[in-house]
Structure 1
Amino acid sequence: MDLSSGALWGALAAIVVANILLSGDNAVVIALAARSLQGKQRNQAIFWGSAAAIVMRVVLTIVAVKLLALPYLKIIGGVLLLWIGVQLLVDSGDNGEVKAQGTLFAAIRTILVADLVMSVDNVIAVAGAADRAPEAYRVPLLIIGLGLSIPLIIVGSTLLMKIMDRFPIIITLGAALLGFLAGEMFVTDPSAVAWFERNIPEAGFIFGGLCAVLVVVAGVWLQRRGAVESDTA
């Protein structure tokens, strides 16, 4: 690997920047999932969840073009993302306090599933950044570049959790964000994107907003129903 190559360093920088800019939603779900844990397990969930998610994203990036060519993939992913958003909100207790009843494995599993769903678009941008480098260097650059972004995502998730502890409303906003992303995925699936672009130009915002509301309403309703059942049990 020619370390003096400007194209090489430019591609590496582009990969890191693209991944950081596109990982805000991933930091949200990592913080939401890990917040149900206590002490050392919370930090372990953030670290191992983030690291495993980055490894998975490397694999996804390598096969990104083939993945996005499959119809209905984003629709399936959107449904999964809706479920994750509702579930994270349901796990909140009274006054927005999240019950400390999750397990380390469950938190890491949630992080991985959510990252898998949300990375379908992200990996294309990262793959495009890697494309600036010579072909022989692209896969090593992906691994190095995405690996360098792990500590930045971990720091972002940790800070976000501290904000959630002080302002529990952030939990609801985070769940709504996942719903919004799900709505956008529905209308950008290869099987439907042409129809939506032709007939509903702002479909991403419309369906994203509707799904955000759906997640919050469903999550709050299920949360309250669970609280009533617990009181009457």
Structure 2
Amino acid sequence: LFGASQKVAKTWQKRGHQAESFDIKTGGQLHDMVSKTGFLHLMHLGLRLVDGGIVVGGPPCSLFVFLSSSVHMRHIFSPSGCPWNDKVRLANQIVRNVATFIRVLKTQRKTYVIFEQPAGSWMFKMHCFVELIALLSLVCGHDMDKVTHLLGDLPTLGLMQRRMTKNVKNKLKEKRAKRKANMKSNKAKVYYVADKTMGKVSGGRDLPASAYYTTSFCNALYKCWLHDFTEPAAASSRPNLSRDVS
């Protein structure tokens, strides 16, 4: 779901599995999940899943994160945010349709589900998502320093969790130093822009790219799914993700 880069689908396809990407950027109106046609097509794709199949999704987070807080106006007592902003209402409807899709799919297929959001996103705090499942922290080699939350029911999903070890800190330190050097030569990626005089932060030109899944993330996720799909009862033989997630 929302896989314009198609990296997750390609990870499965490279290993001989059938996989589909669903994103309005690549599928047009047929992949518009807030339309009747798009939602029914999504349900059709979902019902093609076999038991043990998996749905991986990262709903658009741009109107759920801190950078757009002045627009969405979400807070603890109103995770749905500003009701009179068309873009916020659309973002909310997408999330509600996603939750509805999963709830319906779960009554028909024994599938696994995983959703991803930045740690500060309000999406999983919306009422339609609150009770789906627990959150796990993840650090997975992205260029932008950000912690990601995964919501899902894959039994081995906990193996994706990583803590901020000394080794990880050193790698991040090296990455930041390299980024700082690139900034001087105008080669650095700009994920956000801070206006210290006004006390504001806004998204930069490369912020959309921060949503792309890394190869290491996709490979680690595939290993978890493959283990649970082929050996659901083999708790002692957990997949080794050390090469994929660090």
Same fold (TM over 0.5): no
TM-score (norm 2): 0.26
TM-score (norm 1): 0.27
Structure number with higher strand proportion? 2
